[in-house]
Structures are given as C-alpha cells and as structure tokens.
Structure 1
Amino acid sequence: MCGRFALTATPDQTAALLGLAELDEFPARYNISPTQPVLMALAGPPRSPGSNLPDRQAMLVRWGLIPTWVKDTKEFPLLFNARSEGVFEMASFKTAMRHRRALVPASGFYEWQQSGTAKGQPYWIRPRRGGVIAFAGLVETYAEPGGSEMDTGAILTTHASAGIAHIRDRMPVVIDERDFARWLDCRTQEPRDVLDLLKPVEPDFFEAIPVSDLVNKVANTGPEIQERGVVGPQPEKVRRQKPGADDNQMTLL
C-alpha cells in the first residue's frame, strides 16, 4: 500500500516531467497523507490544429477517491489506494480507470516494516537515481448532496519489487516516462490496453532508507523526517508450541 509520500521537486522540475507548460509555485511537501490535496496530471482536451498548447492539465485532488454513486461519504471507506489487480472490474474504480487515468508526481514514498502489533520501522523509499517520478493515479469528480463538486483521487498499487519486498508486499505503480502518453490516453486506449503498465519496477529502482518515527505524525512536515535513522532490533517471533511438544521433533507448519 502507499499511505504517505513526498513531493520535494520544484514546480519547474515537476512540470518538465509531466509535460506541462507551467505550474503555480508550491512548497516542498515531505509528508503527504490521505485526505490532503495532491497534484495530479490528466490528459487535456484534444489540441486544435496548429496549436502549441500542451494536451495535459494539472489539478489538485483530495487524496481518497469517492465514486459518483456514493450516497453517504461518512459511511464509505477512504480509498486512497486501488489494487491494480482487476481494477478495471472493481465498482469503485472501473469508471475512473476507463475515463480519468492520471499521473501523480512524487519524490518517493514511506513504508513501514511490520513487527508484531507495533506500527513498525518506517522507511523512506526513493528512486536510487534521484529525481521525480510519477505514480499511476485515478481521478473521480464527486458531486456532494449540496450541489458542490469535489475532485478526488487514488494511487494504484501492485506487488512490491524484490528490492523492497522485505519491507512490505505492496508498492505504488510507477509509470515510466516513455509510457505517460499511453497511460493518460483514455480516448483510444482501453483499460485492457494499459494493464501491462501496472507492474512492479526493477528490483534496484528504489533504495530504502530507515528513518525515525517522526514520519508517523502527519503534523511533522519538515525535511528532518527523511533523515536516516537507526533500525532497532526486530522482536523475535514466538513459535506457538503444543503442551508436551519436544523441540527436537520435526513439525509440519
């Protein structure tokens, strides 16, 4: 899953990656969490003949997708992630997958290595080569009962690549820059035509840096949350044993 990420690239760097003419100024964000506004890029309207305008548009969306058919948002779960496996068949995501695929610029994301019942050791997971990347996203515009509209979105996830699977078994889908146009093209590319893009990155694409538990609190938003921390000893798993069992005997688990 992906429950926290960061975007510390400049607006110019982000616009250059996404193929946008320009972006309004925004500060570096080190601890983006669900329900907060996130930047996404979608395909824009078709270009007019001879036009030099970009065919992609940027928008801020609430991180947590709400399908159009939801009646009571208080009773609906927070869909900040969408599992890529079968996403084009899931009621909550299939319309957005067909009509509103998006790119989510990011400098990396956070994940927690579970240890028993504790939250676990947090890691800052970033591209080994540095720079800004783009996660696969979906956008849905939700009409509230009062008549106002709210743009909402989710990040697609897939199986973790071998390089970070020891931390968590899921990771965001990263869209290669060469595939941006195909992923965003909802006019000619059906969901089934882009399913091959919903795969893990190469094992050495990311590097995982252990950090302190400062990232656990949404209120902590400074660069210090990405500073390398010390990995504490992981508690040993207690093997359950039947009364009278002999440790020297072989068991089938």
Structure 2
Amino acid sequence: MCGRYSLSKSKIELEERFQAEILVDFKPRYNIAPTQLVPVITSESPKGFSFFYWGITPDFAKNKPVSQKFINAKAETVHEKISFKSSFEKRRCLVPADGFYEWKKLGKKTKVPYRFTMANNEAFAFAGIWEEYENEKGEINHTFLILTTEPNRLVSEVHDRMPVILKKEDEKKWLDKYSSESNLLQMLTTYSADDMLSYTVSPLVNQVSNDSPGIIRKTSPMDQFGNYTLFG
C-alpha cells in the first residue's frame, strides 16, 4: 500500500510542471497522510488543482461501512470492483507528489522508513480515482484513492506493493474522458526502477504531526525508536 507521501515543491514549480493553476495558498508538504486535504488534478477540471481528502472515512461515507484505512485500490482489479468501477470510468485524477515512503521490516519490532523519489528529483503523478460523498451535515466532500501495483526491484526490497506512477506522457490520457478501458489499463504499469532512487529517512516521519523539511533528508538507517541499525 501507499500510506504516506510528500509534495515538497513550491506552488510555482507545481503550476509549471502540471500546467494547472493553484488558486489557494499552498505550502510544501513533507509528510502527507490519509484523511488530509491535499491537491489533485481531476478529469473534470484538468487546468486547475482541486483539494480533496485522501481516503474515505465513515464521516465522509454516510451509511456506508467503509474502513478508515480505505486509501488505496489495486490497479489490477480497479475496473472490475463494484466499489471502484464507476470512479475508474468517470472520475480519474492525478495525485501530484515528489516522493513516497515505505517501511522495511527488520524484525518483529524494527521498521526503517525509506523515501522513494525520481532520480532527477522531479515531481510526478500517482494514478488516482475520486468520489463525491455527502456527510451527516449534508455537506459535500470530495475524496480520492491512490492506485497501487506490483513493486519494481527497488521498492520490492522494502514492500510488496507500490503506487502507480504515471509516465509523464500518459498523464493527459489518464484524465481524458474518451480514453478506452484497455488504454487506461495499459497505463497502470510498474514504474521503472532505473529512473528512481531510494534512501533511508528519519523515524520522525512515523508521526503525522511532523511535517518539516527534515523529514525528506537522507539519514543513517534508524528504526522506529530512533536506534541506529546496520541495515541500509
């Protein structure tokens, strides 16, 4: 699964990279977590950034028994599952990012956080789908999920799944309402490890409240308790 990511680029950098406008104040994010309000680019509004909640919680899904960990969907079955099929067909989105985190298990209690980025440190986009829900107050909330797939050789050393990273040339096609199902599924491939980097980061990333530049800096491998390990 993908349970944490970063978007540390500036507003100007994001607007230039995605050719879309951000109409609100935006500050770089270093430790984005589920249920938070973050920028996406939707199929309905491809020229501007929208701000949606990551994941679907019971508060957003009135009368629906949805898990609080409902933040990802498998790319292999997204077009078949009743819960995702409509969103896959009609409501797709780009989820801008410049890195994501996974934790490598080294024992029953030892986990070391890793950050994965593009080799050139550029921003990229996860493949996402979005939905609209009415909460108990009658307010409309917009939420999104990130699609995941089999890991490349770099990510597989840490985790058995990775987010779908779209090729830059596929981003507009992903948002295009006229793209066929077969073409869409072809985009949901495992991103090449040759174009990515990974490194260990501070266990400070474990706490959602920590959202500062220090989170994305390379550090010596430490477990979740802050103890140095011998593994990289």
TM-score normalised by L of structure 2 = 0.88
Aligned residue in 2 for 1:31: 31
Cα separation, 1, equivalents of 2:130 and 2:156: 28
Runs of 4+ residues deviating >6 angstroms: none
Report the number of matched residues: 222
| 1:144 maps to amino acid | N
After TM superposition, the structure 1 = structure 2 runs for residues 64-143 of structure 1, keeping only pairs within 5 Å, are 64-65=55-56, 70-72=61-63, 75-77=65-67, 78-118=69-109, 120-143=111-134
Aligned-residue offset at 1:22? 4.6
3-state secondary structure, aligned to 2:182: helix
Cα separation, 1, equivalents of 2:138 and 2:192: 45
Contact 2:40 2:52 in 1 (8 A): yes
Do structure 1's residue 200 and structure 2's residue 190 form an aligned pair?
yes
Aligned residue in 2 for 1:18: 18
Q: Deviations over 1:80-123 (max 9, x none)?
A: 11110110111221111111110011010111012232251101
Cα separation, 1, equivalents of 2:88 and 2:57: 13
Aligned residue in 1 for 2:150: 159
Do structure 1's residue 43 and structure 2's residue 33 form an aligned pair?
no
Cα separation, 2, equivalents of 1:222 and 1:31: 8
Aligned-residue offset at 1:138? 0.8
| 2:132 maps to amino acid | T
- Stretches of structure 2 lacking an aligned partner (at least 5 in a row): 222-228
Q: 1:63 aligns with which of 54, 69, 77?
A: 54
Q: 2:168 aligns with which of 172, 177, 180?
A: 177
Aligned residue in 2 for 1:242: none
Contact 1:12 1:23 in 2 (8 A): no
| 1:43 maps to amino acid | S
Aligned-residue offset at 1:180? 1.4
Cα separation, 1, equivalents of 2:139 and 2:22: 28
| 1:202 maps to amino acid | S
Do structure 1's residue 233 and structure 2's residue 223 form an aligned pair?
no
Q: Deviations over 1:18-74 (max 9, x none)?
A: 2214543311110000000111001346xxxxxxxxx5332111100469x95435x
Aligned-residue offset at 1:164? 2.2
| 2:165 maps to amino acid | V
| 1:194 maps to amino acid | L
3-state secondary structure, aligned to 1:118: coil
Q: Deviations over 1:152-205 (max 9, x none)?
A: 00111111111221111211111112111210012x123333101101111222
Cα separation, 1, equivalents of 2:66 and 2:160: 25
| 1:208 maps to amino acid | S
Q: CA RMSD in A?
A: 2.0
Cα separation, 2, equivalents of 1:220 and 1:182: 35
Describe the shift of the 1:99–1:66 C-alpha distance in structure 2 as closer, same or farther (beyond 3 A).
Answer: farther
Cα separation, 2, equivalents of 1:3 and 1:214: 15
Do structure 1's residue 7 and structure 2's residue 4 form an aligned pair?
no
Contact 2:62 2:133 in 1 (8 A): no
Contact 1:40 1:60 in 2 (8 A): yes
Describe the shift of the 1:23–1:126 C-alpha distance in structure 2 as closer, same or farther (beyond 3 A).
Answer: farther
Describe the shift of the 1:14–1:112 C-alpha distance in structure 2 as closer, same or farther (beyond 3 A).
Answer: same
Contact 1:65 1:139 in 2 (8 A): no
| 2:137 maps to amino acid | G
- Stretches of structure 1 lacking an aligned partner (at least 5 in a row): 46-54, 235-253
| 2:118 maps to amino acid | P
Aligned residue in 2 for 1:218: 208
